[in-house]
Amino acid sequence: MAKITTSTTISTSVEVSAVLVQNALELAQLRETQRELAKKEAMLKEHLLNALGEAEEATFGGVVVYKTQTSTRRSNDLKALAEKFPEAFKETLRETPVVKIITL
C-alpha cells in the first residue's frame, strides 16, 4: 500500500488503497496530457492566425473553414487598486478555501 501525505500548516496522512493510488496516477497522467494539449493548441492557433495575415476568414475551395472573432477583455489591476484604495481593497477582498491534489 502507498502512503500519500498532504502538506499544509498542519500535516496529516492516511493510508490509501491501491485503487486510490491508481486514481492519483491517472490524475497525474491527465494533467500531463492537458499541458501537452495546451501547448499544441497554442501552436495551432499561432499557425492558423499567421496564415490569415490581415484577413478575417480562411476558405478552402470557396468554403469558409475558419474565421476570427475580435473582442476586448476587461479586468481590474488588483495591485493598483490595493495601492490607491487600500481600504476599499481590504473591504472587498474575498478569501475562498481551495483544496488542491498534488500528485507525486
Mean pLDDT confidence for 75-91: 94
Would you place residue 8 in the very low, low, confident or very high pLDDT band (cuts 50, 70, 90)?
low
For the whole model, what pTM was predicted?
A: 0.67
pLDDT surpassing 60 at residue 6: no
Spans of all domains in the chain = 1-54
d(CA 16, CA 91) in angstroms, rounded, equals 42
Written as one string, the DSSP assignment of 20-55 is: HHHHHHHHHHHHHHHHHHHHHHHHHHHHHHHHHTT-
The 10s digit of each residue's pLDDT in 13-40 is: 999 999 999 999 999 999 999 999 999 9
**Residue 66 main-chain phi, psi, to 5 deg:** -160, 155
Contacts 24+ apart (CB under 8 A), 94-103: 101/24, 101/27, 102/6, 103/24, 103/25, 103/27, 103/28, 103/31
